[in-house]
Amino acid sequence: MTAILISFPAILFVFRLQLLRRLWRRPLKNGEGFFLAQRVGPDFYRAAGAPLFRRYHASLLVPLFLDAPLAAWLVFTERYVGLQLEQLLAMIATIALYNLMMVHYSARATAVSGCQEDRPATSLQLSMAPRRMRDYTIPSVESVIVVASLLALGMLIRSYADSAAPGASDGSEDAFRGGVVATVWLFYWQLGFLLLKGSFVHWRMPLPANRTEDFRRWRTAWLNHYLKLFDAVRLLCSAALLAGMTWVAYAHSWPLTVQVMIGGAFVLVVLLSVVYLLREERRLLATERELKPVEMVKEFPRRPIAEGRYLAGGLLYFNRDNPSVLVRSDHGIALNLAHRATYAGVAYFAGLIALAVWQAS
């Protein structure tokens, strides 16, 4: 039982290590002439860029070291449920921080290298084409999610009726409580990815004055890739919820062979989802190799330093009148705390913490 409880946080920790490994040399992805998406001068990594590269590596390690004492304490005190929740929250926070780091260090590289002559552009366009959620909604996908969710809720109600019936066993009560926890968590995940989908759809897309169509193709491929990712995760959440509630409601009456078949079918669905997402990632990489978006960066004018109040050494920013969630600062990129997207992200993460506290209690 202990091995099962530890396996989930162990998988999450390995995922974080794998993400760290992938990002460790990401600045060199496009060769030594680039630091992430920014063009740099010759010998950048052996001169002015060497301290920046070291700070980049140190920043990647920070999320892992920050939660290490708490994770170790949870292991030694055998609080395995708390360990699962802590590693889940740490994974989400790590992904968010790493995305901010990529943008921040990309901007810092330009300032450090002083290589700004590659950006002769003085103007850009703003796409005025309306993007609405319904234009990126696949009816069949939404129908499957709705039907699976309604069936799962129906089974949860049945589980409650079984647990509330006279003479109900402790097992039926535990099954109902487990069903409530799984339902709340998976619905919350679905809400999170639906919010992400909405933010990506409504994200305004600046276009360079040159190579406009190439950049539009790249951004369209990039957007479609992530929207498919979000829909796939939402589908997988609904499938997991339906499978879990079906298991709670009926597995006790199934013979072992049926249980193995149902469990194997769900594992197969997960594997097919992974294969699908890997295929879509390869398609995006093929488009990237064809269009070379890193070469299009120089077509954009350099952003001016935003006016407003800076906090935390220029990493945070506060200005309700600025429509951007990320702005240029003296130290790279700053997160606008007054933007509604920041409010939504903080509120969602606070909700995750509240759910974790609720489950742990």
149-163 per-position pLDDT tens digit: 999 998 888 888 888
Same domain as 112, residue 160: no
List, for residues 200-237, the tens digit of each pLDDT value. Answer: 888 777 777 777 888 888 888 988 999 999 999 899 88
Same domain as 176, residue 51: no
pTM of the model as a whole = 0.77
The total number of structural domains in the chain stands at 2
Say if CB 218 and CB 287 are below 8 A apart: yes
Give the residue from 57, 90, 119 where a domain finishes. Answer: 119
Residue 174: inside a domain, yes or no? yes
Same domain as 262, residue 221: yes
Domain that holds residue 287: 127-299
Q: According to the model, what pLDDT value does residue 301 have? A: 67
Q: According to the model, what pLDDT value does residue 114 have? A: 59
Q: With a cut of 80, say whether residue 94 has pLDDT above it.
A: yes
Q: According to the model, what pLDDT value does residue 256 have? A: 81
Q: With a cut of 90, say whether residue 143 has pLDDT above it.
A: yes
Same domain as 170, residue 115: no
Q: According to the model, what pLDDT value does residue 121 have? A: 46
- When pLDDT is averaged across residues 132-144 and rounded to a whole number, the result is 88
Task: Name the more confident of 4 and 293.
Answer: 293
Same domain as 150, residue 87: no
Same domain as 66, residue 12: yes
Give the residue from 119, 140, 164 where a domain finishes. Answer: 119
Q: With a cut of 60, say whether residue 55 has pLDDT above it.
A: yes
Same domain as 135, residue 84: no
Strand partners, 34: 39
Strand partners, 38: 35
Strand partners, 35: 38
Q: With a cut of 50, say whether residue 118 has pLDDT above it.
A: no
Split at pLDDT 50, 70, 90, the class of 175 is confident
